[in-house]
A and B are shown apart, each in its own frame.
Chain A
């Protein structure tokens, strides 16, 4: 039977009572039409045992601890609650209880002052939950007695508004948004790939974004590196990126690493980050990052671009193939032109950088299927997306069981020294 619940404020305590005209006939016979709120509470007290906060604290420390259900409203819960308590607002208790407890479980209901929980407990008893108690004095007394309580991290009203289109998505929700706000993403390169990735990750509310780039903004960058502006030509890219990100979203802390990443500083720079987004334009840096990602077990989101073509994948250390499972060795320099030599369609950077941002967010939230185990090849001219399977190489020189992972001289190695120099013949 549908009942309509009303919020009623009585004294300090906001209470939800069910008006008598909408209760069932049987209940109606038990409750006099003229029964006051005080009468209702008194009747409930006769049925529902009350537990003192000291007893509750004692019982919660034991192995047969009861399930504590906090029946207050969201805003009250957000200000603090008993550790381990389950939150079910009073209005949803009857409809949700079956998913939380069985009728023979020991339950303790709690509200702010001990009244709503008393009435709620009475309803549960009517539903057959016989082992239900109510905390006398509620959370207010719990807190006053000096017991521990948790204050959940929550979005501020401004953040609720800013990220509302995220929190509406079940896979993200407020919990996911809080994860993003607590996440740290390191972008290698504040250039073609790093610009759109930084913009969208910042807009998404990734709380900390690191920008690694020792280059300065050049006019020729602006065709694709949209995080920079004409009036910032000559400025360090990492600084220019910081200005753009902070203007877009003040929630984001930007760490500027205006340095060339190398084997001496890579571990210091990447430690503490949750995800690395690789937007480098050269093989020495890419192989360095691949090794460092394995050493630190930080996921690496990969993309590379040239002319009209882009590659993207995700390398989850020891949980999927790594970059060297895919490409064990770099090509010789003449088969590895940079965008500065061969050119790149500006928009291509937007597509690929945003695929990286998407994958970084999925890795942070732990949702969906990432590109781990797949290489996505995007051809802007044909407007085709091709997926290639990438498998973990059991003999991988970097992540295989016999691999001896250590930093090398990546510049020399990629230039072919001691490797494929004799075959660089074109």
Chain B
């Protein structure tokens, strides 16, 4: 469904896979993965925000920076250890968005 919807292009032909965590799936129509164009992480995220603006509201603070509690990986590497948002993204790469999850036993808060 959403996966087939073509996002506005403008970043060349490079299209990578974005994996969406459970807590953000509501903001992207319930899918686990989307195809998004972009040559860098920031371009891929910009493509994602263009189609699903709600995601931006959850990932980016008022200062325009990604929240510290959100980890972004290109394949299995944390972009904090690569080129941060300028990390290049290739056609076959997966960009994974990963906020921490708390779930386990139901200990009362």
Interface residue? B1 (CB, 8 A): no
Q: Which residues of B have CB within 8 Å of A284?
A: 109
Given A329-B68, A388-B76, do A339 and B32 touch, yes or no (CB 8 Å)? Answer: no
Q: Which residues of A have CB within 8 Å of B71?
A: 326-327
Given A329-B68, A377-B98, A386-B96, do A191 and B104 touch, yes or no (CB 8 Å)? Answer: yes
Question: Complex formed: what's the CA distance from A379 to B99 in Å?
Answer: 15
Given A190-B105, A281-B104, A327-B71, do A307 and B62 touch, yes or no (CB 8 Å)? Answer: no
Q: Once the chains bind, are B76 and A338 in contact (CB under 8 Å)?
A: no
Q: Once the chains bind, are A306 and B67 in contact (CB under 8 Å)?
A: no
**A194 interface neighbour in B58, B70, B105, Cβ under 8 Å:** B105
Interface residue? B23 (CB, 8 A): yes
Residue on A with the closest CB to B60? A423
Q: Which residues of A have CB within 8 Å of B99?
A: 331, 335-336
Interface residue? A425 (CB, 8 A): yes
**B58 interface neighbour in A282, A335, A387, A391, Cβ under 8 Å:** A335
Interface residue? A291 (CB, 8 A): no
Q: Which residues of A have CB within 8 Å of B107?
A: 189, 191, 213-215, 260, 280-282, 285
Interface residue? A311 (CB, 8 A): yes
Q: Which of B51-68 contact A (CB under 8 A)?
A: 54, 57-58, 61-63, 67-68
Extra inter-chain contacts (5) besides given A308-B22, A329-B67, CB under 8 Å: A188-B105, A192-B105, A330-B100, A331-B23, A336-B23
B residues lining the A interface (CB < 8 Å): 21-23, 32, 54, 57-58, 61-63, 67-71, 73, 76-78, 81, 96, 98-109
A residues lining the B interface (CB < 8 Å): 188-194, 213-215, 221, 225, 237, 260, 278-286, 303-309, 311, 326-332, 335-340, 342, 344, 375, 377, 379, 381-382, 386-391, 411, 420, 422-423, 425-426
